[in-house]
Amino acid sequence: MISLQHGSSAKNGFHGFNGIRNGVKNAEKISHSLALQVLLEKIDQRTYPETIREEIPAIISHWLQSTNEPPLLVGKKEASAWAKLLKSEFGAGTAKKFPVIDYTVVPFPPPKKARFTFIDLFAGIGGFRVALQKMGGKCVFSSDWDKNAKTTYYENYGEVPFGDIRRLSSEKLYSGRVDLVCGGFPCQPFSIAGVSKKLSLGRKHGFEDENQGILFFEVAKIIKRHRPKAFILENVKHLLRHDKGNTFRSILHVLEKELGYHVHSNVIDAKNFVPQHRERVFIVTGKQIGRAHSELQSLREISYAVFCLKKKNSECLIW
Ligand SMILES: C[S@@+](CC[C@H](N)C(=O)[O-])C[C@H]1O[C@@H](n2cnc3c(N)ncnc32)[C@H](O)[C@@H]1O
C-alpha cells in the first residue's frame, strides 16, 4: 500500500491502493490504478479547497472512467492538466498520445460500449452495479461514505465512490445524460430492529432521524436534477408499514406527485436466489409521465427484471 501525499490517505477514507509502479514508459495502455496513483502523487492536493480535498481519489477515478466529461467539483481546466501529466509521463511516441486506461485487471470493468448510464447511490460494495453493468450500463457516479465499502468498491470496479451524499446532492453529478438512478438508501430509520433500537436510546426514527432518515430526500433531489428515465430504490420491507404507512405514502407522494413518475413497488424475497431469507421492498419506475414508450424500452426491461425476481427460476436480468 502506498502512502498518499499530503495526508490524503487517512483523511479521504480511501486506503485501497496496491501501488506498484514498475517503470512504465511510452505505453499505449496503462492500468487504471497506475494512472490514479501517479495523478495523486503528482498533483499538489493542497491547492484544492479543503472541502473537496478528501474527494480527490473519487474525482480522479471517476474522471478516468469518462475522460471526455469534465470532472466533478474541479472543472475542465484540471482535467486538461491531468491529461497533460499522463501524456508526458506515459504517452507513446513523440506525439505523446493520451494512454488508454486499462481496466482489464478489475473483476467488473466498465462496459466497452454503454447501452445506458446510471448513478449508483449508497453503493456499498456495488450490488446494483454488478447487475447493471452486466446489462450494458455505465456507472457515471457512485457514492458511499464508508471507508471499507470504498476500498472494496475500488477493488471491484476501479472507481472510488464519493463520500457523504448530503454534501453533493445539489451538484450536477454528471454533465452527460443519466438514464437511471439506483440506491438502497439506509434502512435503519425504518426497519423493525432499527426503530426499536432508536426508541430504546430515546432517538428519533423515520424521517425524523435527521442523519439517516432524510436520505430519501437526497435521492429525490438527485432524481429531480438529473431526470433519469428510470430509477430503482430499495429498502427494508417494514418501510411499507412504518408510521402506519405514512412514511411510504410520503415517499410515493414525492416520486409521483412532485417528480412526476409512475411508480411500482413490490416486496421481493432474495431467498430464491441466495441462501438467505431477505425481504426487501423495491420501488421502480420505467416510465416518466409524458415520455414516449420507445425511448424507454431498455429501461423498462429493468423494472420488469426487478419484478421477475419474485418468481423462482424466472428469466431474470438483475442479480
Ligand atoms: C443498505 S447499504 C447499501 C448496500 C448496497 N446496495 C450494496 O449492494 O452493497 C447503505 C449504504 O449507504 C451508505 N451511506 C449511509 N449514509 C450515507 C451518506 N450520507 N452518504 C453516502 N453513503 C451513505 C452506507 O455506508 C451503506 O454502505
Confidence label for 185 from pLDDT (cuts 50, 70 and 90) = confident
Q: Count CB atoms within 10 A of the CB of residue 129.
A: 24
Question: Closest ligand 1 atom, CA of 166?
Answer: 19
The H or E element spanning position 155 is helix 147-157
Q: What is the pLDDT of residue 25?
A: 59
Burial string for 16-26 (b: 16+ CB within 10 Å, else e) reads bbeeeeeeeee
Sign of CA dihedral 79, 131, 148, 193: positive
Can you give the pLDDT at residue 179?
Answer: 92
Instruction: Write the pLDDT tens digit of every residue in 77-135.
Output: 999 999 999 988 887 666 678 888 999 999 999 998 998 999 999 999 999 999 899 88
Residue 94 confidence (pLDDT): 67
pLDDT score of 12: 44
- 162 CA: nearest ligand 1 atom: 21
Highest mean pLDDT among 56-65, 96-105, 204-213: 56-65
pLDDT band at 293 (very low <50, low <70, confident <90, very high): very low
Distance 215 CA to ligand 1 centre (A): 10
pTM of the model: 0.83
> 295 or 16: which carries more pLDDT confidence?
16
Which residue puts its alpha carbon closest to atom 7 of ligand 1? 124
> Which range, of 35-39, 92-96, 305-309, averages the lowest pLDDT?
305-309
Question: Where are the alpha helices (H) located in 173-275, listed in sequence order?
Answer: 192-200, 215-226, 246-252
Residue 313 above 80 pLDDT?
no
If you average pLDDT over residues 229-253, what whole number do you get? 90
> What's the first-to-final CA gap in the chain, in angstroms?
32
Q: Could you tell which of 12, 122, 156 is best to mutate to test the pocket of ligand 1, judged by most ligand atoms within 8 Å of the CB?
A: 122
Distance 187 CA to ligand 1 centre (A): 9
Question: For residue 92, what pLDDT is reported?
Answer: 65
Pocket residues: Cβ below 6 A from ligand 1: 122, 124-128, 143-146, 149, 164-166, 184, 186-187, 215
What mean pLDDT comes out for the span 161-168? 95
Which sequence positions are flagged as catalytic? Answer: 187
**125 CA → ligand 1 middle, Å:** 9
Give whichever of 10-24, 47-61, 78-92, 259-273 has the largest mean pLDDT.
47-61
| pLDDT attached to residue 124 | 95
**Which of 145, 148, 164, 188 to mutate to test ligand 1, by most ligand atoms within 8 A of the CB atom?**
145
Model confidence over 260-280: pLDDT tens digits?
988 888 888 888 777 889 888
For residue 242, name the pLDDT band (cuts at 50, 70, 90): confident
How remote is the CA of residue 91 from the centroid of ligand 1, in Å? Answer: 38
The arithmetic mean of pLDDT across residues 186-206, rounded, is 74
Main-chain phi, psi angles of 94, to 5 degrees: -70, -25
Q: What is the mean pLDDT of residues 135-163?
A: 95
Q: Are 306 and 250 in contact (CB under 8 A)?
A: no
